[in-house]
Structure 1
Amino acid sequence: MSKADQREQMTNGAGFIAALDQSGGSTPKALALYGVDASQYGSEEEMFAEIQNMRARIILADDFTKEKVIGAILFERTLGEEIEGRKVADYLWSVKGIVPFLKIDKGLEEQANGVQMMKPIPGLSETLAKAASMGVFGTKERSVIHEANAEGIAAVVAQQFDVAREVIAAGMVPIVEPEVNIHSETKAEAEDILKAEILKQLDTLEEGQDIMLKLTLPTKANLYDELADHPRVLRVVALSGGYSTEEACDLLSKNDKMIASFSRALTEGLSKQMSDSEFNAALGSNIDKIYRASV
């Protein structure tokens, strides 16, 4: 199965993208929710080993299949890890038929102009070359919008598309993720500005320069249909942004042209202490809810 198969699955596949890309900053919180307290690991190495065990348990679960999960986003460190003797990206695609993506951003700058830009991404071209050689289909890079500040939002989107062009040049498909904070008092206004800025940037892309978009579930249902219909956009996916699984799925089901790319909503209610059958049942229930809301 080739890049063309991966592309077909991402463009037309029924299902959602699992976000398994907890990084150094978000791992302690993810582990705490999973029932692993900070006192249970003494070093960063041990912390990353715990989260890798959690990710492997998810990927190996019976319901984590391409019938419902069409793609998965990985943390850079995960590329070097193995499941059943295969590199994780290879295992996902070769064994599970799930398209692998890589989170490439290095976190966020301090807030200015109502937004948080991405920090510089040193060594990006090397990272992209390595990921492409490992069969990774695309990338994900996140910024955050806190207020309806036109200047700030324009800067976030411009930066996102600059990085996206580098990813495209490396032969991969970028997931552009300018998240709007769900607690923003000007969320709806920010989303209108964001949509206009994205449309502006999309029109600068040439044929073959295709992207995906990962956006906060909008206040106005179906706001992003026009983006989903744009010829340069393979797919618009939604982030759960702090909503519970129920809330996120309810909002998603109102947006006809978005599918899920959930992280916390996917792992809600899972714990290390569960037996495998309990774990698989809880994960299976989350996967089913998110799948139904996506299709």
Structure 2
Amino acid sequence: MTKRNMIASVLVTLGLAACAKTASPELVDARAAYARASTGPAQQNVPAEVQKAKVSLEKAELAFNQNSPDQRDYAYVAERKSQLAEALSMRAEHAAARAKAEAQLAKDKDANHNRTKDELDRTRTNLTAAEQIAADEKRRAAESDSKAAASATLAADAAAKAAEADKRAAEADLKLKAMQIELAKWAAVKEEPRGVVITLSGSVLFASDKAALLPAARNRLGQVTAALLETKDRRLDVQGFTDSQGKDAYNVDLSQRRADAVRTYLVAGGYPPDLIVASGMGKASPVAENTTAEGRANNRRVEIIIAPKKI
């Protein structure tokens, strides 16, 4: 079996091995370009360049078999290296032709001066064109290598950023859980769709019909504030509530003043003011019946809602 037949057989084998999958247009072109280079004059004139094209094609075939997204880049490089081998082969042929023409020119200088000179000029023109083609292909191959390296760097950076984001999210979740555990020591805490809800009894925070914080309430709010500062990137909604006794307008005003008092205390403790909103809800949203003293006491409350973290 001749060397050309052996190369053709290898290409056929590669084609059959990949027939179960559809090769990209770049890989198809790369195979065709290598077949031309390996079975043409380039194999004899510039075997080292043909070997480089073969190595690049093998990388493309491996990426194709592994379903790697890099197969197109490798195939592009392989095609360009095959074309470069052909261009360099052409340049070698033209160089040989030029040397032959120059020898013929010297031999037949007197008789065939004009004819030989024209031939030499054409050869030089062709050689210049071949050299330009080779330079262009070499430049494109270098650009392709640079592009592949940049793509790999971007992929690595994206993976690192994703890992860092996951790490920060996990740390934030741990902080939130720790804060909830600490808050449970000082107030009722539960998770709802609107966020983590901290409920403080109005009788603990304020005297009857008043909106000034009691001294004991300041100590409790101090502990709550310290816990909230562990996750002070969350939005807080401070809502005041009353029971159903009294006029609605008065209850709304009283609940607003009490919510404002709690918000002011949290801000003084270091929580970002632009992340806290205070609202007076009056007798709305009771958590117990207003027909008993115990139920009304439960309804007189302040809720601090920690908004869910935005994704």
TM-score w.r.t. structure 1 length? 0.23
Structure with max Cα Rg: 2
Higher relative contact order (CA 8 A, sep 6+): 1
More strand by share: 1
- Normalised by the length of structure 2, the TM-score is 0.23
